[in-house]
Structure 1
Amino acid sequence: MKKRWRSAALVAVLLSASCSAAPEAAPPVSSKAPTAPARPAVQNGTPGWEITHPGPAHAIEGFADRSSVLPGAPVRLFVSTTAAHYTVTAFRMGAYRDSAALQVWKSSSMAGSVQPAAVVQQPTRTVVAPWRPSLDLPTRDWPPGDYLLRLDGDNSSAQFVPLTVRSPSNAGKIVLVNAVTTWQAYNEWGGYSLYTSPNGSKAARSRAVSFDRPYQAQDMQGAGDFLYFELALVRFAENLGVPLGYATDTDLHADPHLLDGARAAITLGHDEYWSAAMRQNTTAARDHGVNLAFLGGNEIYRHIRFAPSAVGPDRVEIDYKSFAEDPYHQTNPLEATPEWRSPPFPRPESVLLGNFYRCNPTRGNLVAANAGNWLLSGIVHNGQSLPGLVGNEYERVDLSVPTPRPIEVLFHSPVTCGGRPDFADTSYYTTPSGSAVFSAGTQYWICALDAGCPEDHADPVAHAAITAITERLLRAYAAGPAGRAHPAQDNLAALGVPGAKPDPQPTQPPDHPAGQ
């Protein structure tokens, strides 16, 4: 959904302060909270990685020829700058002492140049930067993880280029999946995104966006999405010492074996744009015992497909947001791109997610409704309110659409959105394969792992509770199919969810259109 709600001031704070220290162990919320295992020792980080003064628009900017790379494979970087010279510094982002970053590489001084202007390709109004490659980055000694490449010009300009060094194997690991398709959907570099156009017209927006361009600097898209919606969970998980793998959702699209043998896959705070292959591969992993966690409030909403660009495969992200307008409605209708829930082939996100997207913007308190559940037991009590943790978008269990059963609602939180009273749900269901699927149902879950976030509703009790619940979830997921030890106990009838009946029969809706 359209929600570029972060303020420039908030982004500056995030860049310079909020992730400057490794997460601490959560203090117990009640006397029953279990004692957490000791954290592993952390490595000293590199201070001063933040960008606090990026300089004028287009003073320096760049993009990589791929969103992710295996260790040792070269990465081509495309840079345009008004500076006479610039450097590139690679920071691995994660759980380091006194910093969120570790410098792993730095280039020599490079001669700068201004590259050609953006080109808008018709009829889809796709913006590309027709640039020459500037340098190759060696990744031979770069460990898997999430990276920010900082471009620094000698004209006091700076900009980030995000890059994921993915894990060669994810067997036995919890895989953290960067939502680069959503980053790109909102990217307005060159004036167009999947939401808007230079004159503000939604009708004239792009129908396809390209990764062959920088992210818009003013809103810190790309790097800003990572810093706000993802980094706190990455640092938290690394600090726990659980085995981790790293990938992007374009990898999830391209590689049906990406999650082979994985313990879990975690999608992060803003993961809205999904291809059919992303859904198929994630569903197949779940059905083979891979746990899933969705830590946002609007996942699997937009249906996309990919096409190649001049730079490489899967570099063009297509979304007409309309069945009739998409040329594929005649040639390959199942790959046409209305919302996933929309006709003529509705495949709502609830089939995989459990939850169902409802509305934005809203803000409310997260209210515990199932304190006996293994994730909440001893951490919160029924009716306990965690301030400010529902928003900006939210989901709920809605039995008017296909929903896996049994499913438990852990938090059942009253909200009002668009003048309509409703509930936001945090849900948990399990499958015959033994996998468990957790849906936070709010975009602020990951933010709450940072003691200072949400910035206008930060609450130490809420931070401690979400920290303790998330640790319990990740440790159980790291041990294997969590549904075997913790099967879901359906509680929808007890909560008065419309259409719920006691003792429902187990159901697992198929993730394909009826009749296909």
Structure 2
Amino acid sequence: MIEGYLGRESVISGEELTVHVSTDAARFRLRFYRLGEGLELVAETGWHPGSLHLPPPHPDGVPGRASPAQGWDWPPLTLPVPEGWTPGMHLVQFVEDGDDPPLLDAADVEGPAREFFVVRPRRAGGRSRILYKKSTFTRHAYNRSDRPGEERAASLYDHPVYLPDGIPRGHKVSLHRPGGIIDLAYWDAPFIAWLERNDYPVEFCTDLDLHEDPDLLSSYDLLLSVGHDEYWSEAMRAHAERFVRDGGNIAFLSANTCWWRIHPTDGNTAFVSDTDHHVGDEYPHLPASDQWWPAPPDGVGRPENSLTGVSFRNGGMWASAEWPGDRPRDGYTVQHADHWIFAGTGLRDGSDGGEPDRLGAGTPLIGYECDGAAYTRDARGVARASGEDGTPTSFLILGIHVLEPVHEDFHNFKWGHWNGPAREPGLTSPRAATMGVYTAGGTVFSAGTTDWPVVCGKDQDAGVVQVTRNLLDRLRHRSPRA
């Protein structure tokens, strides 16, 4: 048995990486890979002495469960990252003595006894003006810290720890816990491979990098948010908004984006968020004050769609027996087919008198979670953002998919329904996944769905692939034409 976690999930080339390992073997070694079009072995260490360490027990005394809130405090091993390593997304595989597993390949990204980390270049922006942000805070919120043969179920969703008297008050999650690789394999790996296969160099950062460094984005022209990007700090939000005001561009190839505010604590090795997750059979505090869109004191009072253009409160989640679940494959109804985003796709919007085409039809593009904008329809049936809930008035809806049927009780899912959280009274437009764009200094595109990078990364739809090319080609430079 072997598992581990990282002291920090990003490192600058030429500096040091810290790993924390627990094993019942006498010794262990580490294999390092770079994730691109494939999975390339870049280094393997010699043997290090092994020792077994237990997780901290759950502070509420939940039997058989570990603590998601406390750092697990396993001994550190610090290693140099050679300057010769190509910056990018990397994996470390933990190998125990007596076991000689085969080298990982692109089909083996997901699994236990491995973790991911970002190698950043010493000179930001030197290789690419596109910055790919890995949504690490969201990863840690969902990380259950399970391992083969042991279900620890320790996360923000499974047996969370709530600090009622904390400053700040809320559910606490430590970044210093093992968990293996899950979300990276599903959302990021296919898209990273597609980017490299199609000659789009990118540089990488984590949520914590964006949180800590107010000048990080100044070296880039385009920020990519990919997959599931739910948890944002105040500083992340402020840095992204300033970036757009200064002419920088963002492509949200993601959904459920910026739904909860988080507060990094413990020297930025943990975070707290006052959410609406159960502790036992109770909600410890409602309304959950770290939801971005509700007005204080019920929330933050800064609707996420004022940045992204869309919100999960106007979208939903396809409940299913198995994550991520199959779902309707109708795609987005195309609007404004003459927009630059659709160049080269051949898609039509119905203005020629025919039926509008559907982007991504036949693929699971919509979902598994998706965001939308409140909208009205004009006399021709074209959906237009109403702006009534914070979406910029210049937001242009380019694709829309009404989410039906809807089951309103978000915490008691029914399979085969779009489950949506409660919205403000008075918003009357149906929930709809929404793809769109606006310009306010820089340009912001929102795909409105978590699975955009999966469909594009696996080349499942030529239209989605071409739209992604158009996005990257146009927004990789600041101040594009409107």
Could you say which TM-score interval applies, normalised by the shorter chain?
Answer: 0.7 to 0.9
- CA–CA distance in structure 2, aligned partners of residues 82 and 178 of structure 1: 32
Counterpart in the other structure of 1:441: 448
Q: Give the deviation of 1:67 after TM superposition.
A: 1.4
Q: Runs of 5+ in structure 2 lacking a partner?
A: 62-66, 102-111, 146-151, 165-169, 280-287, 320-326, 350-355, 375-386, 409-429
* Matching of residues 407-486 of structure 1 within 5 Å: 407-419=395-407, 422-431=431-440, 433=441, 435-451=442-458, 462-482=460-480, 485=481
Residue of 344, 356, 367 corresponding to 1:378:
344
Q: Give the deviation of 1:138 after TM superposition.
A: 3.2
Matched residue SS, 1:232: helix
C-alpha contact 1:304 1:337 (8 A) present in aligned 2: no
Matched residue SS, 1:416: coil
Residue 208 (1) aligns with residue 172 (2): yes
C-alpha contact 2:260 2:290 (8 A) present in aligned 1: yes
Residue of 253, 258, 278 corresponding to 2:236:
278
CA separation of 1:161/1:137 partners in 2, compared to 1, >3 Å: closer, same or farther?
A: farther
- Normalising by structure 2, we get a TM-score of 0.74
Counterpart in the other structure of 2:133: 177
C-alpha contact 1:293 1:437 (8 A) present in aligned 2: yes
C-alpha contact 1:186 1:194 (8 A) present in aligned 2: yes
* Matching of residues 232-243 of structure 1 within 5 Å: 232-243=190-201
Q: Which amino acid aligns with 1:444?
A: D
Matched residue SS, 1:468: helix
Counterpart in the other structure of 1:351: 306
Deviation string 1:34-59 (CA, Å, 9 cap, x unpaired) is: xxxxxxxxxxxxxxxxxxxxxxxxx2
Residue of 230, 249, 260 corresponding to 1:302:
260
Matched residue SS, 1:321: coil
RMSD of equivalent CA atoms? 2.8
- CA–CA distance in structure 2, aligned partners of residues 339 and 191 of structure 1: 24
Q: Give the deviation of 1:279 after TM superposition.
A: 0.2
CA separation of 1:254/1:108 partners in 2, compared to 1, >3 Å: closer, same or farther?
A: same
- CA–CA distance in structure 1, aligned partners of residues 68 and 194 of structure 2: 39
Query: What count of residue pairs does the alignment treat as equivalent?
Result: 387
C-alpha contact 1:209 1:318 (8 A) present in aligned 2: yes
C-alpha contact 2:35 2:90 (8 A) present in aligned 1: yes
Q: Percent identity?
A: 26
- CA–CA distance in structure 2, aligned partners of residues 322 and 191 of structure 1: 18
Q: Give the deviation of 1:168 after TM superposition.
A: 3.3
Q: Runs of 5+ in structure 1 lacking a partner?
A: 1-58, 218-222, 326-335, 452-459, 488-516
Residue 141 (1) aligns with residue 129 (2): no
Residue 338 (1) aligns with residue 290 (2): yes
- CA–CA distance in structure 1, aligned partners of residues 59 and 17 of structure 2: 25
C-alpha contact 1:119 1:129 (8 A) present in aligned 2: no
C-alpha contact 1:174 1:263 (8 A) present in aligned 2: yes
Residue of 153, 173, 197 corresponding to 1:191:
153
- CA–CA distance in structure 2, aligned partners of residues 138 and 408 of structure 1: 44
- CA–CA distance in structure 2, aligned partners of residues 170 and 410 of structure 1: 33
Counterpart in the other structure of 1:118: 56
Q: Give the deviation of 1:342 after TM superposition.
A: 2.4
- CA–CA distance in structure 2, aligned partners of residues 108 and 438 of structure 1: 46
Residue 166 (1) aligns with residue 120 (2): yes
Counterpart in the other structure of 2:392: 404
Q: Give the deviation of 1:167 after TM superposition.
A: 3.1
- CA–CA distance in structure 2, aligned partners of residues 107 and 265 of structure 1: 34
